[in-house]
Structure 1
Amino acid sequence: MTSETVRPDLREGPKRETVRRALARTDGFVSAQQLHLEINAGGDSIGLATVYRHLGALAEQGDADTISVASGQLFRTCTRPGAHHHHLICDSCGTAADIAPADEEWIRTAAREHGFTVTHHRIEVFGRCRECLDSE
C-alpha cells in the first residue's frame, strides 16, 4: 500500500493524537467507551467509532497494548513498543505490569505435541495488585 492509498481513517492526524494523548493519561487498561467519555468530557468532540478506529490503529502499530476480557477489548499505551511482552493485570483496578515472555520453547513444544504451528501468542495473567489487596 503506497502513501497515496492509505485509508484516511488510518492516517496520523489530530483525532489520532487526541486519542493517543487521552490514552497516555489513563492508568492501566481502559475500554474505548471509557476513553470516549473522558475525551468528550475534556472538551474534545470525537465519535465513539473514531476512538475505536484509532485505538485499533495504535494497537496495530505497537503503540497501544490490547487485551480481551469478558466485557470486550481494553487498551493502554504500550510501555515497551516493539518488545514482545505479556501482562499481569489487576482484576479490581486494571493496573497492569509488563512481565517477561513465557518460555518460548515450552509454547512451541506444546503446540507441536498437539499438531499446531505457532504463529503468535498472547498471555495475560490476572490477579489483584498490592494496593487493592491492602484495601480489602
Structure 2
Amino acid sequence: MTTSPERRRSTTQGDAVKDALLGQDGFRSAQDVYADLRAGGQKIGLSTVYRHLQAFTDHGLVDVIHNADGETTYRYCGDSAAGHHHHHLVCRRCGRAEEVEGRAVERWADEIAKKFGYADVDHTIEVFGTCPDCAAATQP
C-alpha cells in the first residue's frame, strides 16, 4: 500500500535529507546530499540518503533528472511537484534550476498523443544552459 505524501511518516533523517535539498537552488546528487549532511555533523549512511530520495521521488516530492554525465540528481519541489507539471531550466555548471511552464509543449504533447492514439502520456523536458552567475564567473 502506497502512503500519500501527507500521510508519510516524518523521520529525523528524512527531514535532514529534505533540508539538504531545500538548502540548494538546483539539482543535487545523492553523494552531494550525503557529503553535505556528514559535513554538517549528521550521522547518516549513504544508503539511507538513497532510500529517502527514492521515497520522495515515489511520492512526487522531488524531481529527478540525469546530468550531462548521466548521474541521477534530485531537486525538492514539494507540493509544487505533486499535481503541478513543470519543466526545468538547469545550469550545466552549478546545477541551479528554475521551474518553468511550457504550455506550447503541453499542447504539442497532447496533439501528438491524440494523433497516434496514445493514452496515459507523460513527458519530461529539461533545458540546459549556463546561469548568469556561472557565465559571469567565466568572463575575463
Determine if the TM-score, normalized by the shorter chain, exceeds 0.5.
yes
CA displacement at 1:87 relative to structure 2: 0.2
Which consecutive unaligned segments of at least 5 residues does structure 1 have? Answer: 4-9
* % identity of equivalent residues: 39
C-alpha distance in 2 between matches for 1:118 and 1:2: 20
C-alpha distance in 1 between matches for 2:93 and 2:77: 20
TM-score, scaled to structure 2: 0.80
Q: Give the aligned length.
A: 130
C-alpha distance in 1 between matches for 2:2 and 2:86: 30
Match of 1:28 among 26, 29, 32: 26
Match of 1:19 among 17, 22, 43: 17
Q: Which moved more, 1:93-102 or 1:75-84?
A: 75-84
Structure 2 residue aligned with 1:122 = 124
Residue pair 1:108, 1:117 contacting (<8 A) in 2 also: no
Residue pair 1:64, 1:75 contacting (<8 A) in 2 also: yes
Which consecutive unaligned segments of at least 5 residues does structure 2 have? Answer: none
Structure 2 residue aligned with 1:81 = 81
Q: Measured at CA, do residues 85 and 92 of structure 1 come closer, stay the same or move farther in structure 2, by a change above 3 Å?
A: same
Q: Which moved more, 1:28-37 or 1:68-77?
A: 68-77
SS at match of 2:127: strand
Q: CA RMSD of the aligned region, Å?
A: 2.2
SS at match of 2:51: helix
SS at match of 1:17: helix
CA displacement at 1:76 relative to structure 2: 1.6
Residue pair 1:86, 1:100 contacting (<8 A) in 2 also: yes
TM-score, scaled to structure 1: 0.82
Match of 2:107 among 105, 123, 128: 105
List, as ranges, runs of 4+ consecutive aligned residues in structure 1 with deviation greater than 6 Å.
none
